[in-house]
Structure 1
Amino acid sequence: MTKMIEHFFSITSPWTFLGFQRLSEIAARNGATVVHKPVDLGKVFSVSGGLPLPKRSPQRQAYRLVELARWRTYLGIPINVQPKFFPVKGWPAAGMVIAARERNQDYGTLAHAILRAVWVEERNIDDAATLEAIAAAQGFDGRALIAAAEGEAVKKTFEADTQEAMDRGVFGAPTYIYKGEMFWGQDRLDFLERAVKQG
């Protein structure tokens, strides 16, 4: 039976970006598959006590930048801690990932490319033409995915995945769930891999 890691994330989260490729590598090393589920983090915060970044205290906002810079150095992953196009709505970007997932396409690659566009490439993922170009560079029909993202079926899946996240106790992004055990944050990937290795 295939090992499965569920990945609940925000398509605009820097922490999701820092963990994304490492998650893929963990899965590959251990014969696991990853199910990526973009969610509405605002709704998750509304039931879990979290605050969107602009509403956090100045101290917390400042320390977040320090931590991002520390992790950038430690991991050797390029990331602009204050990108030009952030915060962004992230829709239809998240919907494109869902649409690609439902078409059995390599949606993990698309999600990672979108995250990289925000945090490394200074691109505006709220712009449709930019999203089409990002998707095309990864071999996807961006226009078709955007059209699907604007459809009711994909929006309902997004809502359902968000509700599932809340029902299962998710309170931030990224969150990884393996065999019912939750691991919150890219800094818990070592613990996740230990669990996956155990079977």
Structure 2
Amino acid sequence: MAHIDYYFATLSPYTYLAGTRFEAVAKKHGATVTYKPLDIMALFSRTGGTPPKDRHPNRAEYRAQELVRQGKKLDMAFNLKPAHWPTNAAPSSYAIIAAQNAGGGDLGALVHAILRSVWAEEKDIAEDAVVKACLTEAGFDPSLADSGLLEGADTYAANLEEAIDRGAFGAPFYIVDGGQRFWGQDKLEELDLHLSGKL
């Protein structure tokens, strides 16, 4: 049975556009998953990337077109300029880490609820009430938003270092236990084929 380490950021539009397709691929192949939220801006700066605000206009304009196209292609509500972006991603990331450790809910649904809050619902995921509502929606105890802070902070920092050590440089980033790496929501088909033994 394959295992996938899933590196992502709760502020990433491309992670949002993955929807729950990654979870469907993992389930199809009986793969286990460890969710590893991280600080995407720190990952960019450490691996040669450029934050969106500092990119050349050509890149920024293409990104804007492509995100809108992908949203339409996937039939997903998408706001290119959400009211609360960027914001502090740490609280939502800590909650995901705490939920994973606690168990009892649907982690994929939690991640998607948080990302949907940013990119489709104009909510601020730095707010405690928003994070708690997402935890509840995904079947977790909302108090995890409070109880998992210390452990979440340590794991969040460790996820960044591990991602860099293992070759990640963006989000979403999927690493299969054999070392095969897949970057981006548009590589889920390739991940599926790899897990099928075809790639």
How do 1:66-81 residues align onto structure 2 when only pairs under 5 Å count? Answer: 66-81=65-80
Residue 5 of structure 1 aligns to a residue in which SS? strand
Residue 157 of structure 1 aligns to a residue in which SS? helix
Q: Determine the structure 2 residue equivalent to 1:17.
A: 16
Residue 92 of structure 1 aligns to a residue in which SS? helix
The answer for unaligned runs of 5 or more in structure 2 is none
Q: Distance in 1 between the 2:13 and 2:185 partners?
A: 10
Q: Determine the structure 1 residue equivalent to 2:34.
A: 35
Please list the CA deviations of residues 167-197 of structure 1 after superposition, one character each: whole Å capped at 9, or x if unmatched.
Answer: 0111111111112111111111111111011
TM-score when scaled to structure 1? 0.92
Q: Determine the structure 1 residue equivalent to 2:174.
A: 176
Distance 1:60 1:149, change over 3 A: farther
Q: Distance in 2 between the 1:103 and 1:134 partners?
A: 15
1:137 Cα offset (Å): 2.7
Residue 158 of structure 1 aligns to a residue in which SS? helix
Q: Distance in 2 between the 1:47 and 1:173 partners?
A: 14
Say which is worse superposed, 28-37 or 181-190, in terms of deviation.
Answer: 28-37
Residue 72 of structure 1 aligns to a residue in which SS? helix
Q: Determine the structure 1 residue equivalent to 2:103.
A: 104
1:148 Cα offset (Å): 2.7
Residue 72 of structure 2 aligns to a residue in which SS? helix
Q: Which segments of structure 1 move beyond 4 Å, counting only runs of 4 or more?
A: none
Q: Determine the structure 1 residue equivalent to 2:186.
A: 187
Q: Distance in 2 between the 1:137 and 1:194 partners?
A: 31
Q: Determine the structure 2 residue equivalent to 1:130.
A: 130
Say which is worse superposed, 187-196 or 31-40, in terms of deviation.
Answer: 31-40
Please list the CA deviations of residues 119-149 of structure 1 after superposition, one character each: whole Å capped at 9, or x if unmatched.
Answer: 111111111122222222333222x222234
The answer for unaligned runs of 5 or more in structure 1 is none
Please list the CA deviations of residues 53-98 of structure 1 after superposition, one character each: whole Å capped at 9, or x if unmatched.
Answer: 1122222222111001111122222222221111112121000000
How do 1:34-53 residues align onto structure 2 when only pairs under 5 Å count? Answer: 34-53=33-52
Supply the RMSD in Å over aligned alpha carbons: 1.6
Count of residue pairs the alignment pairs up: 196
Residue 90 of structure 2 aligns to a residue in which SS? coil
Q: Distance in 1 between the 2:19 and 2:74 partners?
A: 12
